[in-house]
Structure 1
């Protein structure tokens, strides 16, 4: 049976979603798509794709850390960008969060996200080793 979790280290859900979904006994985790919001739910980096990519990846990092995981354990990412060229130009930021072997990645350009100031949303699936995994 899968369980859901919303870590207190980041902004809290305002709709019908969880920040993290845990499947099975705890190794595979499914993260809700993260965006560039601070802990109070305010947009970080309005009109600034690099700033939004950084904050979004920091949010993913915080969600994973809350259950004992790291960015190295991410298996796959799905990225939704409102401007694919600006997103691709911010690729160096990803290298600050990921090393080889990189996660599998799908990137899709979308017309807009749920808030007009958001430029990027990224969701992830990770596998955290049992010896480090902490169930909330």
Structure 2
């Protein structure tokens, strides 16, 4: 069972994530590669719109985890790469639609370039699927 870890010895997160997440390490580990706003038809969702791109990224992560036999509830960690840290609040507003407590642990960093100039965000994920 996934559990959100919180301690008063650390500042409370200012976004939609855990300070730490624990889970029993039995089951299948799923490592989801960096997902972008690329849609199944190859087009890029929401060019210039970080909320639309974040939504597509979350849908892509969801699809990958579901293909492995899990759900977004199985995600224990995400790493988020953004072109503009000023989009933090908009990104977390969308993440609230997809990730429910206990929340995955998360890191977000601003980077200067991605593999396509229209990408505003990329997220990779780790999920732990319980044994069936």
- Tell me which interval the TM-score lies in, with the shorter structure as reference length: 0.7 to 0.9
Q: How many residue pairs end up in the alignment?
A: 107
1:37-76 map, 5 Å:
37-76=38-77
Equivalent residue number for residue 10 of structure 2: none
Equivalent residue number for residue 116 of structure 2: 115
Quote the Cα distance in structure 1 between the aligned partners of 2:66 and 2:106.
21
Quote the Cα distance in structure 2 between the aligned partners of 1:51 and 1:89.
10
Moved over 2 A (4+): 87-90
Equivalent residue number for residue 36 of structure 2: 35
Give CA deviations for 1:82-123 in whole Å, capped at 9, x if unaligned.
011113333111111011110000000000211000000000
Structure having the higher helix fraction is: 2
Quote the Cα distance in structure 1 between the aligned partners of 2:82 and 2:31.
20
Contact 1:56 1:121 in 2 (8 A): yes
Quote the Cα distance in structure 2 between the aligned partners of 1:92 and 1:38.
21
Contact 1:81 1:107 in 2 (8 A): yes
The CA RMSD measured in Å over matched residues stands at 1.4
Is it true that 1:98 corresponds to 2:99 in the alignment?
Answer: yes
TM-score normalised over the length of structure 2: 0.77
Quote the Cα distance in structure 2 between the aligned partners of 1:87 and 1:48.
13
Give the drift of 1:26: 6.1
Structure with greater contact order relative to length (CA < 8 Å, sep ≥ 6): 2
Contact 1:112 1:119 in 2 (8 A): no
Structure 1 residue runs of 5 or longer lacking an equivalent are: 1-24, 132-136
TM-score normalised over the length of structure 1: 0.75
